[in-house]
Structure 1
Amino acid sequence: MTAPKLWIPGEADGETRRHAPATLRNRVAIADMLRQTLPPVGIVLEVASGSGEHAAYFAQEFPALRWQPSDPDADARRSITAWCEGIDNVLSPLALDAAASAWPITRADAVLCINMVHISPWDATLGLLSGAAGLLPAGGALILYGPFVQADVPTAPSNLTFDETLKARDSRWGLRSVEAVASAATLFTLEQCAPMPANNLLLVFRRR
């Protein structure tokens, strides 16, 4: 089988099934953390599902959960559908923009967002926090994964370089501080800030 083309959001090239190499490197470590965090049953909304490879993998790792992928990009949603074909507990991907004031879903038992916060405007993070707060029950988890900076913790040189690259591509992008996100998450309590491979963090917020 021919390997799917490298996933570059926003590029349309005729390929349906996109590929994000980072998913193969981080999915096992993320799944190990999700086992400690996700509810035993219910709906998990994945915001900014990208290629759909995470959705396909996690849905099979957690067969008692229903996985609701989403992405604002139509090409991404086609890729999600292609990757998740035949996986019974994956729902059709939603056209969901994290920054939008209204989301096309009314409830979820957990919300997961991987590698979006640093490659989107700050308004998208604020929208994510607001939207997730409106969906989750008390105690429900909002789980964020990606590179962050932390006060009084040295930032890896590779992350500093990555931050510069992101800001050069779009001045509204860049690594966010854990403290800034936690401060904006006024309806949540930051329960966990776990170090992950490749200088990433996994943040678990609980709905109050």
Structure 2
Amino acid sequence: MEIHPDKPFSPACERNREPILAALRPHFADRRRVLEIGSGTGQHAVHFAAALPHLVWQTSDRPEWLPGIRLWLAEAGLPNTPPPIELDVRGPWPGERFDGVFSANTLHIMGWQEVEALFAGLPAVLADDARLTIYGPFNYASRFTSPSNAVFDASLKADDPKRGIRDFEAVDALAQSIGFKLVEDLAMPANNRCLSWQRRSAI
């Protein structure tokens, strides 16, 4: 099949999709509807939805990303990837409920107030037994886990001072504030982490 010339492509998504999928499998094995926040190019969505055909994978992002996501979904032609929805974490949020949420490489792109808005908005769209998995770089005790992450953080702040690698403890506190308990903190390639939480009502 000929690839659409306007279809966006992220080499990083191509590199990290298999390790992320391996991390997601046990947490999403019994899920039914997953909301991906910040789907970006749409590459992750088609890869994960194809590998996890038992669930509906709902993509979302800001308006400027939706055309590229649509191209990826159209080319893949999967039955479990509905059209992407417009979502800014500051609202409004979709009216549907999801029992899984996934987001990759988003928290360091958002300002901290947007990160807070993301967690504040989640309860309105989550089922009682929801699970949440977030992938990306994190600091621990306000320290970088590698020299390359320190360089990356500096480049993020050079683009926008509001950006930056987030402290695990601060993000976990936000998750706890909406009723989630951390169930896994998994080391990933390239100094990233995969953090998974379970809603306490289901524990």
Greater shift, 172-181 or 138-147, is seen at: 138-147
Q: CA RMSD in A?
A: 1.8
Tell me what 2:191 maps to. Answer: 199
Give matches, 1:76-115, under 5 Å.
76-85=65-74, 86-100=77-91, 102-115=92-105
Residue 195 of structure 1 aligns to which amino acid in structure 2?
Answer: A
TM-score by length of 2: 0.90
The match for 1:17 among 7, 13, 27 is 7
Q: 1:146 maps to what in 2?
A: 136
Separation of aligned partners in 1, 2:29 and 2:126: 12
- Bigger drift between 153-162 and 61-70 goes to 153-162
Aligned length: 196
- The alpha-carbon distance between structure 1 residues 152 and 18, as it changes in their structure 2 partners (threshold 3 A), is closer
| Kept in 2: contact 1:71–1:96 (CA 8 A) | yes
Q: Aligned residue for 1:12?
A: none
Letter of the 2:66 partner, please give it: R
Structure 1 residues 154 and 78: alpha-carbon distance in aligned structure 2, compared to 1, 3 A threshold: closer
CA distance in 1, matches of 2:144, 2:44: 29
**Normalising by structure 1, what TM-score?**
0.88
Deviations 1:135-183 (A, max 9, x none): 2223311110001101286520000000000001100000000001111
Identity of aligned residues (%): 39
Q: Secondary structure at the match of 1:189?
A: strand
List alignment gaps of at least 5 residues for structure 1.
5-14
Higher helix share goes to which structure?
2
Q: Deviations for 1:167-202, whole angstroms, at most 9, x for unmatched residues?
A: 011000000000011112212112211110100001
Q: Which residues of structure 2 form unaligned runs of 5+? A: none
